[in-house]
Structure formats: C-alpha cells, structure tokens
Amino acid sequence: MWRKTVHVAGLALSPPVALAPMVGLSHSALRSLLLQRGGIGLFFTEMLAARRLPHDNARISPLLRTSDGERPLFYQLLVASVAEVGPAVDKVHRLGGDGIDLNLGCPAPLVRRQGAGSALVEDEARLRTILASLRKQTKLPLSVKIRLGPHGDVPALRGRCRFLVDEGVDLITIHARLDGEKFCRRPRWEVVGEVAPDLPVPVFVNGGIFSVDEARHSLELSGAAGLMIGRGAVSRPGLCAAIAAELYGVRSQVEPCGPEETYFSFFGLLEERFAPERRLGRLKQFTTYFAAPLAFGHGLASSVQASGSMAEARDRARNFFQISTSNASHRED
C-alpha cells in the first residue's frame, strides 16, 4: 500500500489522487459528482486564460463556478505573457484558490500561436520569466503538467523536471506519453520511473489509467507519489474511490451507486450549477465518455448527442436505462 498523504508546499493531499484539468469536463458539476463518490484529494479547474480571468465574473462564469466541498482546488492558468501573471494571480487569491497550475500542455494551434500551452515549455527563457513572476506573486503551491518530450529521452526529461523544480514548481504531473502522441498509444510509465524517484518534489503520474489495476501498475513502474486521473474518472465516476480504498486505504463513506443514479445525479448538478444555455453541451461531452464502458452505451451516447434540449436528453436517457434494466432482467431469467 502506498503513502496515503502527500505534502505539496505544506498542503496535505489525502489520498494523493487528482482529477485532471480537462476542457469542458472538469467543471463544478463533475467535481461535485466525484466529490460525492469520494477518493479525490486534489481538484483542478478547467483551463483559464490568464488574460481574461481578471475580468470574469465568478457569479456567472461557468469556468469559475464552484462549491465549498471542491477543495483543495488549483486554478489552471493559460499564460502567454509575463504581463498577464500579476492580475491573474490576484484574481486567484480573491477567489480563494488553494494553488495555481501553469498550463504547459495544451497543443491547440491557436494557443501555440500565442506562445502559450505546449509552446511555452519549448521556450525555456520565457518560461523561466513567467515562473519567476508566478513565484514572486504568490505563496500558493505551484504545479505543472508535462509530457515525456518528443522522443522520451530520459536525460532531457530529467533536465526539464530539474529546471521546473529550480524555478519554484512544487508539484509535477507527468503524462506518460510523447509530445503529440494520441491517447490510443500505450503510456510509458516506466520512463517516468527513470526520473520521478530522484526529484525533491512530488511527481504524479497520468495517462491511460482506467482501472485499479492500471493505477497500481502505473505507480509500480513510475515510482510516482500520486496519480492524476482524467478520462477514466469521467467514464467510471467510482474509479477514484476504488483506487483510494484499494491502494491507499482511504475508504469513502458513500455507498456505490449504479450508472443510472450516477448519470442523473450529474444531470441534476448541471441544472443546479449552470445557466440553461450552458448545460446541454456539457452533458453531451460527459455522456460520450460515461457511456463508453456501458453495455450498448453507444445507444445512450448517440441519442443524447442528437437531443436538442435537456428535456429531450433526459427522456432519451431514461428510455435507455429502462431498456437496459429490462434486458438485464431477461438475461437473468
């Protein structure tokens, strides 16, 4: 069993399992759904443009909606210029953030043209300036997430991680795939294991974790202090609770629930947290991943994708689960 509490710049994470920042997914409704299930010790916001953040209204912005239980919560900033750092950090302080994550991974062409995301990690001089400004502006924990680099070269990866530590980063998450590599490719957790154990700050491993066995294997090969779970937590909302219980001995007090109850719980959280025009797109994105492991889940995904309103999506989802229950009863007979 692995150490159940990891300290990041004085912040205790227990269990050391983080929900990954995911555009369109890691919003308040999903964070609250997984909070109900248990097993997560660190939450992240969706990607926030540092240029816009100071002007966003937390009462109405879907990116800034949160609830009291979603803690600790790190705000992920997309920074293109050092001039954006001060006002963005000040806003995070006013929002009560528990930490700041600098986005170094977004590969979107528009983001790269701005010199942000994955383009920033390629420009060491500019990255150093931005990290120095972040470190000067805040005492909050500072985290980053990177990939293995273009070729998985261990000395280069080790050098990049040492650079980040020297510039004041308190937590490094390593997605165990090459730069630009598709999610269908096998994660190279063993490459992380060549670097993580020797670093003076905690390293979380990420990529390809959809089961407790995969979580265990990733920790064994990587030597990481913790885990960051992305799409696996969306497709299996009880996964983090199972990982926390079996690998860290941190057990949730909530009874497991079935797919139908989980789905409509998320549905209700969307209606509670977001304006009507902000709900359906988020439901469709969630459903794509949630439906994937279900028997005949493509039926749920396609019917919800074709829905023109939340009411229509609710009716179609209810019909799917009714048919699924009926078919299961017939199989038992």
* Phi, psi of 54, rounded to the nearest 5 degrees: -60, -20
Mean pLDDT of 60-75: 95
The CATH number assigned to the domain with range 6-248 reads: 3.20.20.70
Mean pLDDT of the region 202-230: 98
Q: Is 283 helix (H, G, I), strand (E, B) or coil?
A: helix
How high is the pLDDT of residue 179?
85
**pLDDT for residue 242 is more than 90:** yes
Burial label for 112, CB within 10 Å (0-12, 13-18, 19+), is middle
Least confident among 15-19, 103-107, 273-277, 313-317: 103-107
Active site residues: 106
For residues 275 and 171, give the distance between their C-alpha atoms in angstroms, rounded to a whole number.
34
What's the confidence (pLDDT) of residue 22?
95
Pure H helices in the chain: 28-37, 85-95, 109-113, 124-137, 154-166, 189-192, 212-222, 231-235, 239-248, 259-273, 280-290, 297-305, 310-332
Do the strands 73-78 and 203-206 form a parallel or antiparallel pair, or are they unpaired? Answer: unpaired
Q: Which residues contact 243 (CB under 8 A, 6 or more apart)?
A: 15, 17, 39, 212, 215, 227, 229
CA-to-CA dists, residue 161 to 173, 181, 194, 309, 328, angstroms: 10, 20, 12, 46, 50
Residue type, 329: S
Confidence at residue 105, expressed as pLDDT on a 0 to 100 scale:
86
What's the chain's average pLDDT? 94
Q: Sketch the domain layout of the chain as residue ranges.
A: 6-248, 259-332
Q: Which has more pLDDT, 185 or 256?
A: 185
d(CA 122, CA 69): 36
pLDDT attached to residue 58: 92
CA angle 158, 160, 162 (to 5 degrees): 70
Banded model confidence at residue 327, pLDDT cuts 50, 70, 90: low
Structure confidence at residue 330 as a pLDDT band (50, 70, 90): very low
Beta pairing class for 11-13 and 6-8: antiparallel
Beta-carbon contacts of 192 under 8 Å, excluding residues fewer than 6 positions away, are 148, 174, 176, 203, 205, 221, 222, 223, 224
Q: What is the pLDDT of residues 17-41, one digit of tens each?
A: 999 999 999 999 999 999 999 999 9
Q: Is the peptide bond before 72 cis (omega within 30 degrees of 0)?
A: yes
105: Cα separation from own chain's centroid: 12
Give the pLDDT mean for 198-223: 97
Residue 328 pLDDT level (bands cut at 50, 70, 90): low
Residue type, position 58, single letter: A
**What percentage of the chain carries pLDDT values higher than 90?**
87
Q: What tens digit of pLDDT does each residue of 284-311 get?
A: 999 999 999 999 999 999 999 999 999 9
What is the SS3 assignment for 214-237?
HHHHHHHHHCCCEEEECHHHHHCC
Q: How far is CA 164 from CA 79, 127, 156, in A?
A: 16, 9, 12
- Higher-confidence residue of 115 and 183: namely 115
Residues 64, 70 contacting (CB under 8 angstroms) = no
Residue 333 pLDDT exceeds 60? no
**What does the DSSP assignment read for 47-58?**
EEETTTGGG--T
Condensed to tens digits (0 to 9), the pLDDT of residues 108-146 reads 889 889 999 989 999 999 999 999 999 999 999 999 999
Confidence of residue 183 (pLDDT cuts 50, 70, 90): confident
Q: What per-residue confidence (pLDDT) applies to 326?
A: 60
